[in-house]
Amino acid sequence: GRVVLVGGEPGVGKSRLAAELARAAHGDGARVLYGRCDERSLIPYQPFVEALDHHVAHAPLDELRSQTAHGGEKLARLVPALGERLPGLPDTAPGDPQIDRYLAFESVARLLSGLSRRSALLLVIDDLHLADRPTLLLLRHLLRSSKRSSLLVLGTYRESAVGASHQLSETTVELHREGLLERIRLDGLEERELAGLIAAWGGADAPPGLTRAIHDQTEGNLFFVGEFLRHLTDTGALSREHGRLTLTRPLDVVGVPESVKEAIGWHLSRLDDHVLDMLRLASVLGRRFSLDVLAALADSEGGELERAIETAAAEGVVEEEPGAIGQYAFAHALIRDTLYSAIGSPRRARLHRRVGEIIEQLPTADPGTRLAELAYHFSRAAPIGAAEQAVAHCRRAGDHAMTLFAYEEAAQHYRRALQALELVEIGDEDERRELLLGLGEAQDRRTQSSELGSTATIR
Ligand SMILES: Nc1ncnc2c1ncn2[C@@H]1O[C@H](COP(=O)(O)OP(=O)(O)OP(=O)(O)O)[C@@H](O)[C@H]1O
Ligand SMILES: [Mg+2]
């Protein structure tokens, strides 16, 4: 297997490029799996779990049985959907933590290389700069152990989010040295390309000067270009009638957004206050959010909320997630960031606390995700009196991550629990000791297992 990484600035078109390549590969008969990393890193190995979930849910049973004949029970820990489709997989007692993790990784590698023997296999992983360390370790293991298979991983990442000491850089440097990785840098469109894009979008050539003006401002960043064009048409400055594009007012009269942030601000300012309120609340839930949690948060009539979200969807601010009823995502991470950063920090903390309380009441299918969500929201609310809940939930999330061999994630959860414990008025010394022990154990396993199966890691 090999990995091709597409890097570039936010909004330059990395995800879209990956999606188009995936579509083309699928059209050519390749099997395509897709997963993305989340800013909250809800579950360890999230992109793999997402990708494999889909496969596990749709593959014929006997095929699945033979693909997971070895190590199926380890795989089922990472991908709970497997246990649901193949009930009765033995629940093995934990053995040596290093070997357990190795076996779990092997079970993923075996499944994927099995798939890649039948047809070309493309695994798309979006937003790798947000990947947790267990995900990167699994990726590395996968590529090393399937050197001869035809698996191709296509990953995207935001260059600006990845410094030299970022964990993704460590992984990519190693993989590059081993000849398993190739990098592509995606830049904004050139002026000529932008002219072509505008013509394709408007069905006619751009009026003189427009392409240059947009290019100067956006440097060909596609997200920015899209917001800019929307602004021009929304304000009526650019008309698309009679098969031609015409500027009805000079650009300096219309005003030109100076940054992506400003463009998003203009876009959002066209929505009415109620819709904006709902969107701000949704931004607290994350890039992706579910309507029922949002409804409870807004404490409003479902209908009204639904209308607000429908309006936002019609305006291209949010999108319904394919294949999941009542699940939405902001059309772009930058939109979510803008909304989220407009909320003052005391209110933010209060909202996170509310969300935590709501999720506590809701049954969800996957206990792992729920634990991590609770840990996330309560730790954001720890400074305003939710420290005890934060400690409890971070600790549980840590324990859960340990059972998934995600030792680095577990260590982080324990560390967050310890931080929150500092904020508890009368901190419990026993609790602190236990958390420190947990952290020690997670770190211990981490060091041991990164030595195992790795040829060139010196830390
Ligand atoms: N070649 C293209 N033609 C038309 N529109 C495009 C093209 N590439 C990207 N876009 C649009 O530009 C916007 C931003 O693209 P995309 O989401 O792929 O950016 P990104 O690089 O993944 O950003 P981020 O780093 O924030 O994830 C999207 O609305 C996308 O549909
Ligand atoms: Mg993207």
Domain 363-459 has CATH 1.25.40: yes
- The whole-number pLDDT of residue 336 equals 93
Distance 452 CA to ligand 2 centre (A): 33
Which residues does ligand 1 sit against, CB inside 6 Å? Answer: 8, 10-16, 158, 197, 222-223, 226, 332-334
Neighbours of ion ligand 2 (CB under 5 A): 15
Atom of ligand 1 nearest to the CA of 333: 26
Q: Specify the pLDDT at position 365.
A: 67
Tens digits of residue pLDDT in 271-316: 999 999 999 999 999 999 999 899 999 875 556 788 899 999 999 9
Cα 318-320-325 angle, rounded to 5 deg: 145
Give kind and range of the element (H or E) at residue 273.
helix 273-285
Q: Residue 118's Cα: distance from chain center in Å? A: 29
Model pLDDT, residue 370: 87
Degrees, nearest 5: CA angle 249-251-255: 110
H helix and E strand count, the chain: 22, 10
Q: Quick one: fold of 272-343?
A: Arc Repressor Mutant, subunit A (1.10.10)
pLDDT 10s per residue in the chain (459 long)?
899 999 999 999 999 999 999 999 999 999 999 999 988 777 889 999 999 998 998 899 998 998 888 888 889 988 988 988 998 888 777 778 888 899 899 999 999 988 998 899 999 999 999 999 999 999 999 999 987 888 999 999 999 999 888 999 999 999 999 999 999 999 999 999 999 999 999 888 988 889 999 999 999 999 999 999 998 988 889 998 888 898 888 887 777 888 888 899 989 998 999 999 999 999 999 999 999 899 999 875 556 788 899 999 999 999 998 877 889 999 998 899 999 999 999 999 999 999 999 999 887 767 778 888 999 999 999 999 899 999 999 999 999 999 999 999 999 999 999 999 999 877 788 889 999 999 999 988 876 655 544 443 333
- Could you state, in order of their start, the residue ranges of all structural domains in the chain? 2-185, 191-268, 272-343, 363-459
Closest-CA residue to 107 (of 129, 79, 85): 79
Residue with tokens 């990995």: 3
Residue nearest to atom 9 of ligand 1 (CA): 13
Domain 2-185 shares a fold with domain 363-459: no
DSSP output for 93-144? PP--HHHHHHHHHHHHHHHHHHHHHHS-EEEEEE-GGG--HHHHHHHHHHHH
Distance 438 CA to ligand 2 centre (A): 35
Taking only the tens place, the pLDDT of each residue in 49-104 is 999 998 998 899 998 998 888 888 889 988 988 988 998 888 777 778 888 899 89
Separation of 293 CA from ligand 2 center, angstroms?
25
Only one residue has tokens 């996330």, namely: 376
CATH, range 2-185: 3.40.50.300
Q: Say whether 160 sits in a helix, a strand or coil.
A: helix
- Whole-number Å distance, alpha carbon 262 to ligand 2 midpoint, is 20
Q: Which atom of ligand 1 is nearest to the CA of 18?
A: 18
Identity (one letter) of the amino acid at 423?
A: L
CA distances from 425 to 379, 408, 430 (A): 15, 28, 15
Read off the tokens for 16. 């879209």
CA of 169 from ligand 2 middle (Å) equals: 18
Q: Which ligand is nearest to the CA of 11?
A: 1
Which atom of ligand 1 is nearest the CA belonging to 127?
27
What interhelical angle do 387-403 and 429-451 show, nearest 10?
30
pLDDT, residue 249, reads 86
126 Cα to the center of ligand 2, angstroms? 7
Contacts of 288 (CB under 8 A, 6+ apart): 38, 321, 327, 328, 329, 330
Q: Which atom of ligand 1 is nearest to the CA of 186?
A: 21
Distance CA 286, CA 14 (A): 20
| Closest protein CA for atom 8 of ligand 1 | 13
Q: Which atom of ligand 1 lies closest to the CA of 156?
A: 22
| Residue having the nearest C-alpha atom to atom 5 of ligand 1 | 222
Distance CA 292, CA 294 (A): 5
Q: Can you give the pLDDT at residue 165?
A: 82
